[in-house]
A and B are shown apart, each in its own frame.
Chain A
């Protein structure tokens, strides 16, 4: 439900590995976002994209990379440069008008 699908739900990463989190939406939304949520904390913006082939850094972009080759898809790569990647990652999308975001169900990433 909600039209935004994140996969996988759980992901384990070995230290030094890059991993990619998938986010797909069928809501025809122009804007897509990635947030990181740590236990007991709020949502911090990693990257966002308001149009295909364009994206901007959020507040905590270091160690992450994204691409926006299609309107429906906004994958997030957690690189080995991200020293503390264990967190709950949420993808969201919205129209480019000022409006609420619809969230995916989240991916819980754990470094092992």
Chain B
């Protein structure tokens, strides 16, 4: 089955700096890669996603890049703000895995003033 690895597990940045979180996946048939933000005690919320026919997608301060050859994808947050502090999860899915999402282990992002 699919295996998703996520790094780093914790990330601390200064307000205004950029943050990058990286994920690798094992199943070359995976073709959908969402990113979720989870605040303490709350449900994960989708923040951005990318499909395998696209190399990059951007939404305001958030961008995701995908390298299908290397089987890795990354989340980029620019001009970080304190409200960006949360746990971020990457995930991968595809028809080969029954469309179910396989999640990374999460990155605790802390944006310091």
Contacts and interface: CB of A to CB of B under 8 A. Distances in A.
Nearest to B93: A98
Interface in B23-79: 31-32, 34, 41-46, 49, 51
Contacts of A21: none
A92 B105 CA distance: 17
Given A98-B31, A100-B34, A42 B98 contact: no
A41 interface: yes
B104 A42 contact: yes
Interface in A33-53: 33, 35, 40-45, 48, 50
A109 to B, nearest CB: 14
B42 A43 contact: no
Contacts of B108: 40
Contact of B99 (A88, A94, A105): A94
Interface of A: 2, 31, 33, 35, 40-45, 48, 50, 56, 58, 88, 90, 92, 94, 96-106, 108
9 contacts: A33-B101, A41-B105, A42-B106, A88-B41, A90-B43, A96-B99, A99-B99, A103-B43, A104-B43
